[in-house]
Amino acid sequence: MSEDARVQGRPKLLTIIGVLIAVVIAAGLALQIAIWRNGPAVLDAVDRITGGARGAVLAERVSYGPSDKQYLSVYAPKEPVAEPLPVIVFVHGGSWNKGDPENYGFIGRAFVPEGFVVVLAAYRLHPEAVYPAMIEDTAAAIAWTQANIAKHGGDRSRIIISGHSAGAYNVAMTALEARWLAEAGGSAERIAGVVGLAGPYDFYPFDSDSTRASFGHVPQGEVTQPVTHVRDDAPPKLLVHGEADTLVKPRNSRELAKRLEDAGAKVKTLYLKDADHNEPLLALASPWRRNSEVFNAFVEFARGAHASVPVQDELR
């Protein structure tokens, strides 16, 4: 090719490169907008495309109350299992005013292949409900799991409860303030462990629209805080938080961990350098979980967890 032809071809090449860059930027912006509008739904779609079903199936959907938000979905292995499997109950985030387990199928596809049965729990949201409805509903979902998960191959003595953001608050409160599970017909003593991802555990006084909307009516706001209900016999906990989280600051996990340690309770922590509020959740979806410190720590903790109180056959 002559030098003149090369010179004449450069503008076309630059135009093509410019178009490709513009397409990539536009696609990136579209993805960011989609994540902003409904991040879990985007994660779920990406996970399904890049990872597939991985042998996990939706085994049952159960309503545990009259509201359409009071339901749970059970994910289990497609093939029968020889021995009962540990169970992960996962509660979604969303500032107690949004979120739906329908968008969290990637949690089931993440953990079922690792040898777990997974329960995704919904709960009533603002403005339909305020504190303590989110805890009552979380407790009801856990109590249902304690009583019924054996029919899906789950081990009732190895139920780990987990959540992201607002969901992490729900499970922390349910595990620490034992009366909620007792009132729901379950038992906090039979929780094998708790995994909190970017959870708010110490946010009183209420200084955001979402916390004021869901908790502002409580005369003594301290009673709504997980750090207020720390006890030495609390179920073991793994608290994961991004150091760059500006929505729920990492001091929430640090303060809860400190109080648990001071009380003599078991707690592990994992702080992620430069990670924001959503990265602990992102780490559980394909393709990000392939080399995920969060996913590996979660699985290791959950596999080693076992309730200190034996589960009796008569539990209902």
Residue 92 corresponds to which amino acid? H
Report the run of H or E that residue 118 belongs to, with start and end: strand 117-121
Q: What is the mean pLDDT of residues 22-48?
A: 65
What is the per-residue pLDDT across 225-256, written as a single tens digit (0 to 9) for each? 999 999 999 999 999 999 999 999 999 999 99
The pLDDT, as a whole number, for residue 3 is: 62
Nearest in space to 162 (alpha carbons), one of 178, 175, 144, 153:
175
What is the per-residue pLDDT across 198-226, written as a single tens digit (0 to 9) for each? 999 999 999 999 999 999 999 999 999 99
* Token reading at 303: 């596999």
- β-pairing verdict for 71-77 and 117-121: antiparallel
What is the per-residue pLDDT across 37-81, written as a single tens digit (0 to 9) for each? 568 999 999 999 999 999 999 999 999 999 999 999 999 999 988
Residue 138 pLDDT class (50, 70, 90 cuts): very high
User: How much of the chain exceeds pLDDT 70, in percent?
Assistant: 86
Q: What is the mean pLDDT of residues 137-166?
A: 98
Residue 24 pLDDT class (50, 70, 90 cuts): very low
Residue 262 pLDDT class (50, 70, 90 cuts): very high
The pLDDT, as a whole number, for residue 315 is: 43
Residue 18 pLDDT class (50, 70, 90 cuts): low
- pLDDT, averaged across the chain: 91
Asked if the 55-304 domain carries CATH number 3.40.50.1820, the reply is yes
The pLDDT, as a whole number, for residue 80 is: 87
The pLDDT, as a whole number, for residue 90 is: 99
- Say if residues 292 and 106 touch (Cβ distance below 8 Å): no
Report the run of H or E that residue 86 belongs to, with start and end: strand 85-91
Q: Residue 193, exposed/middle/buried by CB under 10 A (0-12, 13-18, 19+)?
A: buried
Nearest in space to 140 (alpha carbons), one of 239, 62, 238:
62
Domain assignments of the chain as residue spans, ordered by start: 1-51, 55-304
Helix axes 133-148, 166-176, angle to 10 degrees: 70
Residue 117 corresponds to which amino acid? V
Q: Which residues contact 224 (CB under 8 A, 6 or more apart)?
A: 131, 132, 173, 204, 215, 218
